[in-house]
Structure 1
């Protein structure tokens, strides 16, 4: 039992190493690479979901307008404006998210699209709601931690500091 209790400490110790001030633990390079890979996976997954939804709306614009007029009850916006805004968000913001360009802006915008999608439906199936909650949690992670190493944001960071 004693060995099992030490295992989490060993895993934590391997994920962190001591920083320059000798008291502050810093994530190890392995942890930072893993986090960046997880953020990349989240960006790809969420971008694909929203982009494909936007393409579906573009393919049959008449049906999209009808849905926004009859089915979706978007608060504060006329149905036609909501259709244009929602579709534009679902097509443009995923591209930014995928590239990791303005990641927090794109994640915030897609979060608004996600919340509006849930609020605009009178009834939503439990499985659909679970999907929206999952996407929302991934977007929250991107809002908190940004795009990670594999992004245009990261590539531009040294240039923006100069």
Structure 2
């Protein structure tokens, strides 16, 4: 029992800011990767330490993206062209904001709403495969914020003092 208390003591010492940084990266990644498949444009970055770190800068939608929203991702409240454009834009901007920790709570809330739209209108059987996990991570960021390793903290810490 003493071993478990010792382990718990060390785990309790991990600052929330470090955990939040990891949460932000993990929560933002699937949305950003998905958004990259929907756009066309110039590529920046490269391969570093064996990982593809390229980012495509959006200049246009791929033709397949609109087709996807016409055939598979039918949203009852938006025409396919607008849904494709809105989704691609949000999947590019919101994950970047979450990762950087800028406007984190509102950006995480946007991704949470997107997760719920995907759950109810696109993949209703995927709750326990991915969506519940995305929603949980995003809820933590909405409730607790980005932590001290973030642009939000850097830019707005004076207001808190």
TM bin (shorter chain): 0.7 to 0.9
Find the counterpart in structure 2 of residue 62 from structure 1. Answer: 63
* Deviation of 1:11 (Å): 7.2
* Deviation of 1:119 (Å): 2.0
The structure in which a higher percent of residues are helix is 1
3-state SS in 2 of match to 1:74: coil
In structure 2, which of residues 28, 35, 40 is the aligned counterpart of residue 47 of structure 1? 28
Residue segments in structure 2 that go unaligned for 5+ positions in a row: 41-60
Find the counterpart in structure 2 of residue 146 from structure 1. Answer: 145
Find the counterpart in structure 2 of residue 113 from structure 1. Answer: 114
Residue segments in structure 1 that go unaligned for 5+ positions in a row: 16-27
CA contact (8 A) 1:90 1:113 kept: no
What pairs up with 1:81-160 in 2 under 5 angstroms?
81-121=82-122, 124=125, 126=126, 129-160=128-159
Looking at CA atoms only, which structure, 1 or 2, has the larger radius of gyration?
1
The two structures have a TM-score, normalised by structure 1, of: 0.74
The alignment covers a number of residue pairs equal to 140
